[in-house]
Structure 1
Amino acid sequence: MNKRKKTGSIMLALVISVSMLLSACSNNGGNNAPTNGGTNTPANQAENNKSGEAALAAEQIFRMNLHAEPPTLDPGMTQDNTSGTVLNAVMEGLTTVDKDGNVQPGMAEKWEVSEDNLTYTFTILDGATWSTGEPVTAHDFEFAWKRVLDPTKETPSPYAYQLYYLKNAEAYNTGEIKDASQVGVKAQDDKTLVVELHSPTAYFLNLLSFYTYYPVNKAVVEANPKFAAEAATHSTNGPFLLTEWNHNESLLLTKNPNYYDADKVHFTEVRLAIINDSNTELSMYETGDLDWAGRPTGEIPIDMIPSLKEDSEANLQIQGIATTYYFNFNTTKEPYDNVNIRKALAMAIDRKAIVEKVTLGDQIPAFGFVPYGIKGQNDTFRDEVKDSYFTEDVEQAKTLLAKGLEEKGLTKLPTIELIHNEGEGHKKLATAIADMWKTNLGVDVSVQSQEWGVFLTNRTNLNYQVARAGWGADYNDPMTFLDMWITGGGNNDTGFSNAEYDGLIKKAQTSSDPAERMEAMAAAEKILMDEMPILPIYYYTGIWMQKPYVQGVWIDYSGEIRFNYGYIAEH
């Protein structure tokens, strides 16, 4: 998420009750999706979400910070929220979601679903065009999805498993079948896309709003496989055009006059800075050079938060979001292939002290992986399935560490190499945990900061020992957190593999019984915590600042920013 996708900046938050978090998140997700499409006016919902309908300012320019260079703007390769923030503005899938997470028509003006909920027939919107002028067709969707699943690609798509809901998608992606025509997506003609699922999936329409399901311009991609590396060669279909990309400096998005809802898009420009220093970001916000600072891609200096709480002009915003902050263990590298050593490290930190003293009491200590706000069967998953999988216990941690070292034939744990991406918050948190491990277990830790793209590459390639990570919801179901840990999963950056876990995830994916699904996912999360390939630290709440004149822009339940239908009010 950085979800999410892999998330690239530490999301600081202020003290917020669990009840506030739940109320912020509980009405979202694919389970509320309609079975049939309607009039293609997702912007109408956005217009209704505006409060007060203030008069528009003459200049409609929105400025925020990305914090880091997007690693890629290829929707089939994206796996982080920095890239996703840009893609959500310049690209669009068959569906979109409104402020409450409810599905709205996107590139599909309508759809029909078979009685057995296995076949979806989408009608592509008249007038949908690429930035190059060609029409968006059903063939572009078929091409894009099969491209993600293509097992012969030199660099596999990290989110290929997200398309495994399609009939024969997994078999094709893993090489079990060679014929791509057997995958359950077919363009009957330019306007009609037929999708077959291998089992009913209640949140499938919600999934279609996620960037892995975005179309790509078939002609452009075939002519230039590196189309997504530069603004001049990228082909987009969303509310904004990718006009400039000054690498490691800034991106410029401009309003797409050919977008079907262009009359509802008010920003003429969105200027995205790339500034990795949180103090500079805050200074630019205070001087008016940025209209938005902090969540989801920026960062606010931790030490400044107490004074910002008291400063009404800062316009500090707080919201619960469905995201988890954690550390990855490289289970393929000794001695982190030993479960007792991993458990010892997980039990030897004080999460309450971390959220109260390091991140200023902003988050909720995590002892599981699925955060608050994600739907369960009748309530939220976290309320139905308590995260009481383990406790913090220094003495027990010492015992487990001694046992693990004996099993590995060691007398002392080698210096731990802990990596994190750039950011003041990540550094402070990593240093605090390193101090706890030193104090409580007597182990030495080397903390290393890495540039976002380098960090992601090292983590994906298992070129690390312990690494910072964050994951946000791609859709509102526990599966968006749990299916990433299947054996060989594209976002499984730990090397973790457990056949029982894989079976439980498969059972939850194919079952149409809500109770059976939740039971299987709860059992899977227990295995995840028993095996401890990851070390959960806290569940996020999000904090950001926005100028009072910024209207119609929101942070959704997962923590992603939605500015496509925002506007600058007179001020």
Structure 2
Amino acid sequence: MIRKKKWLVSVLSAALVLGSVVTGCGTSSTQATQGAGKQMKVSFDPGAEPKTLDPQMSDGVPEAIMEMNLFEGLTRLDKNNNPQLAIAKSIDVSADGLTYTIKLKDTKFSNGDPLTADDFKASWLHALDPAAASNYAYQLYYFKNAKEYNAGKATADQVGIEVKDPHTLVLTLAAPTPYFKSLLAFQTYYPVDQKNVKANKNWNTEAKTFVSNGPFMMKSWTHSDTMTLVKNPNYWDAADVKLSELDFNLVEDHKAAATAFDAGQLDGLYDPTPEDIVRYKKSGTLKQAPQLGTYFYRFNTTKAPLNDPRVREALSICLNRQDLITNVFKGGQTPAYAYVPGGIPDAAPGKDFRTVGGNFITEDIAKAKQLLAAAGYPDGKNFPTLTLLYNTNGTHQLPAQAIQDFWHKNLGINVKLLGQEWQVYLQTMQNLQYDVARAGWNGDYIDPMTFMDMFTTGNGENQTGWSNAQYDKDIQTAKNTADQAVRMKAMHDAENILMKENPIMPIYFYVQNYVMKDNIKGVLVNPMGDFDFKTAYLQ
């Protein structure tokens, strides 16, 4: 998953709400910290060393988990995944849904610098600056002229972000956005201390220069090893923060993390290996929560023979997704025969977007062979060897091997596997230096748009080289109206195009598998895969 990362509208399906609060387990390692002074310490494995902890530049799940505990936006999601006022003291919305007048609380950054409206504006413009090349710039396109500024067709002062005074922001949107208050809780909308940025160009790379505004602040950071967070005394709601310390294990090896958990050296981790999922499920240790996400593979559509839609479809429909889930992933996931997962409301009350849209993928080996032959590769003859890229943090090698076997057995295609550590893997995909690449996406809010707009032309998260003018038009139609019937039809039409041209190959819809000690209470796990420790405590 690149993510992300991430966020929800106020109306959430009951199934998703059930997974919002984590209950975990306790051992001597955590209980020992509860002695004098009620010191409470928790250690957790978010999955990897972060690529960056500049919230305007990050787009991965490990980064999102760390950042949501270090930072806070104008809103923050509660245990029911509804956006609540956080740094914002009040949010007034105009009748037409286009203007948001936001008053800020009197708050400080972790180093004591005052947090002002200018910090929000400068942070957001940094993400939109074409020179920054932020993959998540498009999450700010909701502001008037933001997309134009990011494309070099408007100036920064034309973007709909106005600072009225140090504690007042006036935001003008390009179109009504029903889930905008939830977006304000998303990482790209976090404020960064501009005074610190000017004094320390690489402020987010070391603990001594790292400044944030959330419930925790960074005490130490040993790269690719551990990161220690402590309670932020300057946080406006510090009285509600119970943990004195939150330690992140940054080692990518999930098997090693499970070993540390078993030995009582780690209090929790997410995404165990398939073998550990089976083991923890048998022992009753495994925990599951709903997760709004899709596990898929990207095709580099700029390279032959993957520039042929027939080849891409053949590679997709020759798989057996349920077999992969049962025998390889072993996590109780749901096969994905489309891209957008279930759990998102459609236009009509009580209807689900996925149910209304139906399935697009019908697995059929005979048809796959016909498509490959029509593309000029009967029985895989003369088909070049493909390289399948996956990231080594997590459990992605075994499914890559299984898909390698499916393609060789069913289509006569030879495949090489290439595993890369998280940061290198992200860069390889961004630079289109791959053939086929493992990917994943967690929703940023409960609306199909969180999955759909990433595949528009030029979007930093597209990373397939694919472009379709009608798809872009459908997405723009959905963004330019508040009429839910029009919005949903446009996004159904767009998904139809996406799944007919197959720049991606969906595999399954996520479920959140994790383990956590039973005496750890109050951790919020949202359906985007985030772990919020603000209200965590030890029992």
Find the counterpart in structure 2 of residue 129 from structure 1. 108
Residue 442 of structure 2 is aligned to residue 465 of structure 1: no
Find the counterpart in structure 1 of residue 145 from structure 2. 168
Seen in structure 2, the aligned counterparts of structure 1 residues 290 and 4 have a Cα distance that, compared at 3 Å, is: same
Alignment of structure 1 residues 250-399 onto 2, 5 Å: 250-293=226-269, 295=270, 299-312=271-284, 315-360=285-330, 362-377=332-347, 378-379=349-350, 381-399=352-370
Alignment of structure 1 residues 50-65 onto 2, 5 Å: 57=34, 58-65=38-45
Name the stretch that deviates more: 137-146 or 421-430.
421-430
Find the counterpart in structure 2 of residue 148 from structure 1. 127
Distance in 1 of aligned mates of 2:152 and 2:158 = 12
Find the counterpart in structure 2 of residue 225 from structure 1. 201
Counterpart code for 2:48: A
3-state SS in 1 of match to 2:296 = strand
Deviation at 1:311, TM superposition (A): 1.4
Deviation at 1:406, TM superposition (A): 6.3
Seen in structure 2, the aligned counterparts of structure 1 residues 454 and 79 have a Cα distance that, compared at 3 Å, is: same
3-state SS in 2 of match to 1:438 = helix
Distance in 2 of aligned mates of 1:381 and 1:247 = 43
3-state SS in 2 of match to 1:147 = helix
Find the counterpart in structure 2 of residue 2 from structure 1. 2
3-state SS in 2 of match to 1:335 = coil
Counterpart code for 1:170: K
25, 44, 65: which one pairs with 2:16?
A: 25
149, 158, 181: which one pairs with 2:135?
A: 158
> Is the Cα–Cα contact under 8 Å of residues 351 and 538 in structure 1 kept in the other structure?
yes
Seen in structure 2, the aligned counterparts of structure 1 residues 322 and 72 have a Cα distance that, compared at 3 Å, is: same
Q: CA-to-partner distance for each residue in 1:22-46, whole Å, 9 max, x for gaps?
A: 6432699xxxxxxxxxxxxxxxx99
Deviation at 1:411, TM superposition (A): 4.8
User: What are the ranges of 5 or more consecutive residues in structure 1 without an aligned counterpart?
Assistant: 7-20, 29-44
Give the TM-score normalised by structure 1: 0.88
> Is the Cα–Cα contact under 8 Å of residues 26 and 380 in structure 1 kept in the other structure?
no
Counterpart code for 1:125: K
> Is the Cα–Cα contact under 8 Å of residues 522 and 536 in structure 2 kept in the other structure?
yes
Deviation at 1:307, TM superposition (A): 3.2
Q: CA-to-partner distance for each residue in 1:476-519, whole Å, 9 max, x for gaps?
A: 11100000000000111101100000000000011111011011
Alignment of structure 1 residues 46-125 onto 2, 5 Å: 57=34, 58-125=38-105
> Is the Cα–Cα contact under 8 Å of residues 296 and 506 in structure 2 kept in the other structure?
yes
3-state SS in 2 of match to 1:341 = helix
Deviation at 1:67, TM superposition (A): 2.7
Q: CA-to-partner distance for each residue in 1:162-205, whole Å, 9 max, x for gaps?
A: 1111011111111112x211100011110100000011100011
487, 493, 500: which one pairs with 1:517?
A: 487
Find the counterpart in structure 1 of residue 371 from structure 2. 400
Counterpart code for 1:162: Q
> Is the Cα–Cα contact under 8 Å of residues 327 and 536 in structure 1 kept in the other structure?
yes
> Is the Cα–Cα contact under 8 Å of residues 27 and 101 in structure 1 kept in the other structure?
no
Please give the root-mean-square deviation of Cα atoms over the aligned residues, in Å: 2.2
Residue 200 of structure 2 is aligned to residue 200 of structure 1: no
Identical amino acids, percent of aligned pairs: 40
Q: CA-to-partner distance for each residue in 1:423-474, whole Å, 9 max, x for gaps?
A: 4620000000110000000000001111100000000111100000010011
Distance in 2 of aligned mates of 1:62 and 1:380 = 40
Give the TM-score normalised by structure 2: 0.93
Find the counterpart in structure 2 of residue 31 from structure 1. none
3-state SS in 2 of match to 1:111 = strand
Counterpart code for 1:93: G
Find the counterpart in structure 2 of residue 455 from structure 1. 425
Counterpart code for 1:65: D
3-state SS in 2 of match to 1:319 = strand
472, 476, 479: which one pairs with 1:502?
A: 472
